[in-house]
Amino acid sequence: MAKKILIVIVALVLIIAMGGWLAYYFSDKEVIKRQLTGLAVELGKEGQESPIQMALKMGNVKKMLAKGCLVTIPEKGYSEVLEQDLIIQYLIYHRNRFALFTVAFEDVIVDIPVKGQATVQSRVRLRRQNTAQIESVEESHQVEIALIQSDKKWLFHKVTMPESLVE
């Protein structure tokens, strides 16, 4: 009898632990963090990539954007709502200037003040190298991102970034 009770208790503890882990893993904050990691992978470029590879990557990025995304660059006094396609065109232009382009989101802080809205503070680490350079250049910048939830997906709604990220 004691053995059966012990087995039931162990099973309950495992179920509760698994439920807690699933709740954590699928929480909005963790989903957003994984989405940023996915975005970094899609934005990255290491060496030559075919137009099809680039199109597939940019198609995945486009799915992460709201129909209109407010882009703000405080140093330039720039603030404008850009459509998905224009953002994708800019990303393609910017990525094509480099033979190597990697992005990493670090020190990510996600805040969800209201259901369906989130803000992210993050340090973005870039490593890039154009074809004329021998060594890659690495830099780090602070960005702020606002996301909205639409059809159970988090979409980038507003991005505030430094001028040096768009040069």
How far apart CA 109 and CA 153 sit, in angstroms, is: 19
Confidence check: pLDDT of 49 > 90: no
- Does the domain formed by 2-165 have CATH 3.10.450.50? yes
pLDDT tens per residue, range 19-47: 887 777 778 999 999 999 999 999 999 88
pLDDT at 105: 96
How far apart CA 90 and CA 41 sit, in angstroms, is: 17
Question: What is the average pLDDT across 57-73?
Answer: 95
pLDDT tens per residue, range 83-126: 999 999 999 998 888 889 999 999 999 999 999 999 999 999 99
Of the two residues 6 and 93, the one the predictor is more confident about is: 93
Structure tokens at 160: 């505030």
Going by pLDDT thresholds of 50, 70 and 90, the confidence category of residue 15 is confident
Residue 144 neighbours by CB under 8 Å, 6+ apart: 119, 120, 121, 158, 159, 160, 161
The lowest-confidence range among 16-25, 43-52, 157-166 is 16-25
pLDDT at 96: 86
Q: What does the DSSP assignment read for 48-63?
A: ---HHHHHHHHHHHHT
pLDDT at 108: 96
